[in-house]
Chains A and B, each alone.
Chain A
Amino acid sequence: MEFLTNLAYIAASVLFIFGIKMLGSADTARRGNLISSLGMLLAVVITLFQGGLDYTWIIAGILVGGGIGAVAAKRVQMTGMPELVALFNGFGGLASLLVGWAEVAKDPSLSSGPNPTFTAAAVVFAILVGGITFTGSLLAYLKLSGKLGGSATTFPGQKAVNGLVLLLLLGFGIAFAVTREPALLYVVIILSLAIGVLGVLPIGGGDMPVVISFLNSFSGIAASAAGFVILNNVLIVAGCLVGASGIILTVIMCKAMNRSLGNVLFGSFGAAAGSKQEVEGEMKAITSDDAFYVLEAAQSVVFVPGYGMAVAQAQHAVKELGEILESNGAEVRFAIHPVAGRMPGHMNVLLAEADVPYEQLCEMDDVNAIMESVDVAIVIGANDVVNPSAAEDETSPIYGMPIINVHQARTVFALKRGQGAGFSGLVNTLFFRNNCRMIYGDAKETMNNLVGQFKD
């Protein structure tokens, strides 16, 4: 039976590998997800067949968890996707923490494994990574959903405190691995949970794409660590795959901001207000009536959505305007910056929900190549990702960050709630350019307004 179980675990791992590979391409992604879920089903079913288990509680647990998961997945709005993924991440992390803890609770000497010290070290690692994933994700969830302010929270000596807690954690962790004294483990649990909170506190809302990717990776590593605790290959392989994919996403996000991971995690970006810049010129407003005439004549239009579009829930109105412009003879594209929004690919999901055709969603480089031939670029609630300072002003904190070059378009409309600065606290020099016009107000209202004028 054990042989069969292990064979099934290998099969499940293969299904995960194929599934995750297929998730990387648009044509196969949905099938890939299905294949990976079959792998999960196989792994769970074969585990249940092992026998000697108390099925009452297992069935109860699966029903409760499955019910909650299914309802959450059905109900969530696409704008709430970053919060949901953060929450799921956190649950996965906590589950791995508990699996590690349960192993110690059942067998305090950890003598069932080949090497008690190794198992104890794996338990510490599962608890450490799982605990950070749990509280870090929970805090990210609270920041993303607006239940807590989204800004970076800093206090004097923060790095020293974090460093000290981490050192203590390592000390207690090593002590537990050597002595296996249960009391030490409780300290490790508490400190791990604390580190998750302390680590995410100084990270602001605009850096959330990096944080979520990073925690995503951590949830996988935690599962892998739990695999070392219970000596199970499928946990090790599947967890490690997720860990690797999360790291890759993290690196992509960091590159898109031209910052190192260390700078994002420890730099408290966005906490300090940007230096006062003097910008020549002024921000020129335009009414949506006048904007309509420009759009009516436009041959080529690019929409650049940002987090503001998600906040205003404007994606459906944007899509409608896009369709009208297209039937009016214009070529319509949506240019999406890799870090627009609050999680990787956030804008793509919103626009897909609004039924924007996949072909119209363009990556940054493709759009930049044709930007000079674009008649109108409409910036909807995006700010730093279209700030020309990143390309031109060497003293700017975001210098070097790749941006969507809307300033090269003939005309730019920037939809914005008010005159305030973006997440980074930087002045956006785009808004002061001669070819840029501001349309103040709620993005959804502005869009509906423009749509209405086309219909008249």
Chain B
Amino acid sequence: MELTLLLFVFVMAAFLGFELIQKVPSQLHTPLMSGSNAISGITMVGALAAAGTMDSSLGKWLGLAALILATINVVGGYLVTDRMLGMFRKKDR
């Protein structure tokens, strides 16, 4: 039952995603991509649990590597998107 529920959530999220981003002006394609890319770093949450285990098994070190990579993705992605969007200014004269 739990698995069916997860699949249900997945399918709903897919439809929601398609509905949300139907019409994006092409000016915003790059920020949309780097911004959504940062969101895909959510895998960081999974990495946290793996990296935080108390033993020092292979799983922990794999988790730590995943954590570092995902954090680069998250922090870098959000910052660079913000920097980019800061440049999209309206003419103020």
Contact = CB atoms under 8 A, between A and B. Distances in A.
Interface of A: 16-17, 19-21, 23-26, 29-30, 32-34, 36-37, 40, 43-44, 47-48, 50, 52-55, 57-58, 60-62, 64-66, 68-70, 72-74, 76, 78, 81, 84-85, 88-89, 91-92, 94-96, 98-99, 101-106, 114-115, 118, 212-213, 216, 219-220, 222-224, 226-249, 252, 336, 338, 343-346, 348-349, 352-353, 355, 357-359, 361, 363
B7 to A, nearest CB: 8
Interface in B62-80: 62-80
B84 A232 contact: no
Contacts of B22: 248
Contacts of A349: 30-31, 84, 87
Contacts of A227: 6, 46
Contact of B76 (A24, A62, A72, A361): A72
A68 B70 CA distance: 11
Contact of B47 (A95, A216, A248): A95
Interface in B38-92: 38-54, 57-60, 62-91
Contacts of B40: 89, 92, 216, 219-220, 222-223, 238-239, 242
A29 B31 contact: yes
Contacts of A74: 79, 83
A108 to B, nearest CB: 10
A363 B46 contact: no
A87 to B, nearest CB: 9
A88 B66 CA distance: 13
Contact of A226 (B18, B26, B43, B81): B43
B36 A66 contact: no
Contacts of A352: 84, 87-89
Interface in B1-48: 2-3, 6, 9-10, 13-14, 16-18, 20-48
A296 to B, nearest CB: 23
A82 to B, nearest CB: 8
Nearest to B89: A358
Interface of B: 2-3, 6, 9-10, 13-14, 16-18, 20-54, 57-60, 62-91
A62 B28 CA distance: 29
A242 B59 CA distance: 27
Contacts of A346: 30
Contacts of A248: 17-18, 21-22, 24
A24 B21 contact: yes
Given A72-B80, A92-B70, 20 more contacts: A20-B21, A20-B35, A29-B35, A40-B74, A54-B53, A58-B48, A61-B67, A66-B75, A69-B76, A73-B80, A95-B43, A105-B58, A114-B2, A114-B3, A230-B46, A232-B46, A252-B29, A345-B31, A355-B89, A358-B91
A94 to B, nearest CB: 5
Contacts of A252: 24, 26, 29
Contacts of B47: 61, 95, 98-99, 102
Contacts of A229: 46
A124 B26 CA distance: 35
A48 to B, nearest CB: 7
A95 B70 contact: yes
25 contacts: A23-B24, A24-B28, A25-B25, A30-B85, A40-B78, A47-B45, A58-B52, A70-B76, A78-B87, A92-B41, A92-B70, A94-B66, A95-B65, A96-B66, A98-B62, A99-B46, A105-B59, A212-B33, A220-B36, A220-B39, A230-B46, A242-B40, A244-B18, A344-B30, A348-B26
Contact of B66 (A44, A76, A95): A95
Contacts of A338: 26, 29
Contact of A348 (B14, B17, B29): B29
B33 A91 contact: no
Contacts of A33: 31, 35, 38, 78, 81-82, 85
A222 B43 contact: yes
B20 A345 contact: no
Contact of A102 (B32, B63, B90): B63
A124 to B, nearest CB: 16
A236 B41 contact: no
A244 B14 CA distance: 6
Contacts of B30: 81, 85, 343-346, 348-349
